[in-house]
Amino acid sequence: MNTKFLSLIIVALSLTCLGIYLFVSAPPPLDLNVSKVNKSYSTENAFKIIAKLNDDTRTFYTKEIVGKGMASGLKFHEDWQKSNVEAGPLPALFLRGIAQYIEKSAVPMGLYLGSDFPIVQANLFEGVQAEKFKEIKKDKKPKFFYDTDTDRHIGMFPDFAGAQACVTCHNEHKDSPKKNWKLNDMMGATTWSYPTDSISTDELLAMISIYKNGVKNTYTSYITEVNGFKSTIKPNVGNNWPSQGYNIPSWNTLSDTIDLMTSKALMTSILNK
What residues line the site for ligand HEC (CB under 6 A)?
62, 76, 78, 90-93, 113, 115, 118-120, 123, 159, 161-163, 165-166, 169-170, 173, 187-188
Output the smallest distance, CB 140 to ligand HEC, in A. 14
For residue 23, give Cα distances in angstroms to 1, 20, 33, 84, 103: 33, 5, 18, 64, 42
- Rg of the chain over CA atoms, in angstroms? 20
CB of 208 to ligand HEC, least distance (A): 23
Distance CA 132, CA 123 (A): 15
* Beta carbons within 8 Å of 141's beta carbon, 6+ residues apart: 158
**CB-CB neighbours of 82 under 10 Å:** 11
With respect to ligand HEC, which residue has the nearer C-beta, 45 or 218?
A: 218
CB of 7 or CB of 184, closer to ligand HEC: 184
**Residue 91 or 97 having the CB closest to ligand HEC:** 91
Q: How far is CA 133 from CA 128, 136, 138, 145, in A?
A: 8, 5, 9, 12
Query: CB neighbours of 25 closer than 8 A, spacing ≥ 6?
Result: none
CB 231 → ligand HEC: shortest distance, Å? 21
Burial of 194 (0-12, 13-18, 19+ CB in 10 A): buried
Nearer to ligand HEC by Cβ, of 41 and 101: the residue is: 101
Task: Rank residues 9 and 161 by Cβ distance to ligand HEC and give the closer one.
Answer: 161
Residues near 268 by beta carbon (within 8 Å), at least 6 away in sequence: none
Instruction: Point out the residue whose Cβ comes nearest to ligand HEC.
Output: 188
- Whether 118 and 173 have beta carbons less than 8 Å apart is answered as no
Distance of closest approach, residue 3 Cβ to ligand HEC, in angstroms: 31
* Closest approach of ligand HEC to the CB of residue 25, in Å: 51
Q: Which is nearer to ligand HEC, 91 or 214 (CB)?
A: 91
**Rounded least distance, CB 174 to ligand HEC, Å:** 10
